[in-house]
Amino acid sequence: MTIQNELQTTINAMVQKGKGILAADESSPTIAKRFKAIDVESTEENRRYYRSLILSTPNLGDFISGVILFEETLTQQNDDGIMLPELCTQQGIVPGIKVDAGKLALPNAPGDEITEGLDGLALRLEKYKKQGARFAKWRCVYHISDTTPSQVAIEANAEVLARYAAICQSQGIVPIVEPEVLIDGNHSLSDCVEVSEAVFHEVFHALHRHNVVLEHIVLKPNMMVPGKESAHKATPEEVAIQTIKVLRRTVPAAVPSINFLSGGLTPEKATAYLNAMNQMSQQPWELTFSYGRALQEPALKAWQGNSANSHNTQAALFKRAELNGAARYGKYSEKMEHE
């Protein structure tokens, strides 16, 4: 199979009507924070048990087409000795892997950050592919303030995302390209729109420069929302209208799927906003989800680190996946939260 055919086969499996992607790629500090909230210690065994529990949720593949895994998870097994990537495959879910090495301060750009991890990426991808990963994810973040993001940060992060995507495609790995304009702060909805438009434009200019095949990527952007400390709380309709406006200005129709990140939104809001977008007129791309906390938060609360809560944990995850599956068709309603 040629690399192009391999990439297309993976895209076909990842981009399916009514389905989205589960982000289960929390870094060690992030999963420790999530576990601490439920008073569970973040040991390797607890992480293995929890992730094997959610990945074995019955019928999860009805609404989830791909799962982003943390590197540690690629090498772990469930209690029956089945490798966790294989557990995904058995559910008809494509396993993927977070490959960036985290973010650090961008020199000469106070308040801005850059994501690292390009060195040796091709060799790492070769190894991950042998372990079952068929797609990858790389996240760059942009802070909104009076001085950020700078043009330096917008251009540098776009270049990094494009280089990562090109390396992935050369290895037969589908890249998820994640430019995240952060929700932190008190900025307005219009500030988010302005910054996101500039960021997305620059990302696609860079992808074009690096000859990245747009038909073989997935875009994972933020939605257009005001800062979480803003006095104005946008309605789902406002979020939908502004998000679609920015995407139509910046994202070529060749991109098959836009899988939104939840980025600090509550599970209910993340679902409602996606639903509002899918109630609008037909768009050139699939509009779906790639949520982490907005899918897993109810499951974590149900689990509490207790194996006796396994059924309730899986039921909570399945329900959120099902609700987001309905939002893919614009058929979600708030009353479904209580059914």
The b/e string for 209-229 (b: 16+ C-beta within 10 A; e otherwise) is ebebbbebbbbbbbbbbbbee
Q: Which amino acid is at 167?
A: I
Right CATH for 3-338 from 3.30.565.10, 3.20.20.70, 2.40.50.140, 3.40.50.720: 3.20.20.70
Q: Please identify which residue in the block is written with the tokens 């500039």.
A: 198
First-to-last CA distance in the chain?
46
Helix, strand, or coil (residue 98): strand
In order, the DSSP letters of 238-281 are HHHHHHHHHHHHHS-TT--EEEE--TT--HHHHHHHHHHHHTSS
pLDDT at 339: 85
Regarding pTM above 0.95, the answer is: yes
Instruction: Please provide residue 135's backbone torsions phi and psi, each rounded to the nearest 5 degrees.
Output: -140, 165
Centroid of chain to Cα 318 = 18
Nearest to 65 by CA among 288, 267, 256: 288
Q: How many other β-carbons are positioned within 10 Å of the β-carbon of residue 33?
A: 12
Q: Please identify which residue in the block is written with the tokens 């006796």.
A: 308
Instruction: Please provide residue 48's backbone torsions phi and psi, each rounded to the nearest 5 degrees.
Output: -60, -45
Q: Which amino acid is at 216?
A: H
pLDDT at 1: 80
Q: Regarding beta strands 103-105 and 113-115, do their DSSP bridges make them parallel or antiparallel, or are they unpaired?
A: antiparallel
* Distance, CA of 321 to CA of 60 (rounded, Å): 8
Active site residues: 178, 220
* In the chain, domain spans: 3-338
Helix, strand, or coil (residue 1): coil
In the chain, which stretches have pLDDT less than 50?
Answer: none
